[in-house]
Amino acid sequence: MEASEELRHVIRRFFVAVHEGDEEAVSRRFSREPGFERFGSDPAEWWHDGEASTRVWLQQMRELGGGFPWTLVGDVHALTEGSVGWGALRAEWATPNGPQDFRLSFVLHLEHDEWRIVHCHGSVPSPNEEHGFLLTTSVDDIAESVTISRPDLSATSAADGTVTIAFTDIEDSTRLNGLLGDERWLDVLHAHNGVLQDATSEFGGAVVKNQGDGFMLAFPSSRTAIRCALAIERGIAERFQDPGSPVRVRIGLHVGEALREADDFFGHAVAYAARIASSASGGEIVVSSLVHDLVGTTGEFRFGQPRTVELKGIAGSHSVYPVEVPAQA
């Protein structure tokens, strides 16, 4: 998979065409090949035919005065692999009741050197609580909870008062839950949690918080934290070794002074570690520049090229370092 500037522009142009009511451009973007599927935000909006979906979409544009009253929030994310591409965006829809968040995801296929939409899903996000579920939606939830409760981390602190924090979660867990169903998903969580807990115990760490598929771990040493992270990735690969297994764990590590600078630690370091984990891809371990500086000179670990990322809620750009995970034998 690789980020695609071309596909990003294709999806962005489609979004603008829908907004401006450009019927020709909208119609041309949809595939008419078998296998097409489109979901809308209304329960009745589900089409399996590209031609029928296109006619409905054009009619909806007319009914809305010649285009959808939406604006793009942020930018389009798009990736490709061979002749298949996919992307997603967030929008704000101007409704009679006020602005409404909206999300769109696409799957596209190259047909005669043109990207055509073969799958599209539009949705209006709503909190899990509205549907009777209290679920962790990100490692940020765990970080916020720990910041409020401020657990005692003295047992996992080094002599100098520092603690290395690791946040982990399963990539795209919400989609996997829907794909597998609740019963199979609980089996996945049970196996996943066992790998996390066994590895953490083996390397002298502690599970600070566990919600759903997200974990916050603490270690007295950055070196043991990375060793544990590598063991977790090995354990997950071995436990879910079926070809094409979708269970992939991402891990982020940071270090801070938990005992002497408690306010700063819980106010910044914990959130920083969570954001770093969110910047990782499935199967990837990334560490902060501070962790890299602490262990980089030992030669014990191999790191990939650093990359610059923006971390939600934290000003500026930040360097993170991916840890090279040895291939499984």
User: Measuring CA to CA, how many Å separate 307 from each of 81, 229, 286, 288, 318?
Assistant: 22, 20, 10, 11, 8
Structure tokens of 298? Answer: 């030992």
Domains of the chain: 2-123 (3.10.450.50), 133-323 (3.30.70.1230)
Query: What is the value of pTM for the model shown?
Result: 0.59
Give the number of C-alpha atoms closer than 13 A to the C-alpha of residue 236, restricted to the C-beta side: 28
Per-residue pLDDT of the chain (329 residues; tens, 9 = 90+): 788 999 999 999 999 999 999 999 999 999 999 999 999 988 888 999 999 999 999 999 999 999 999 999 888 989 999 999 999 999 999 988 888 889 999 999 999 999 999 999 999 877 544 555 444 456 877 888 888 888 888 889 898 889 999 999 998 888 888 778 888 888 899 999 999 999 999 999 999 988 888 999 999 999 999 999 999 999 999 999 875 678 899 999 999 988 777 777 887 889 899 999 988 989 999 999 999 999 988 889 999 999 988 887 788 888 999 999 876 64
Angle between helices 182-202 and 222-239 (to 10 degrees): 140
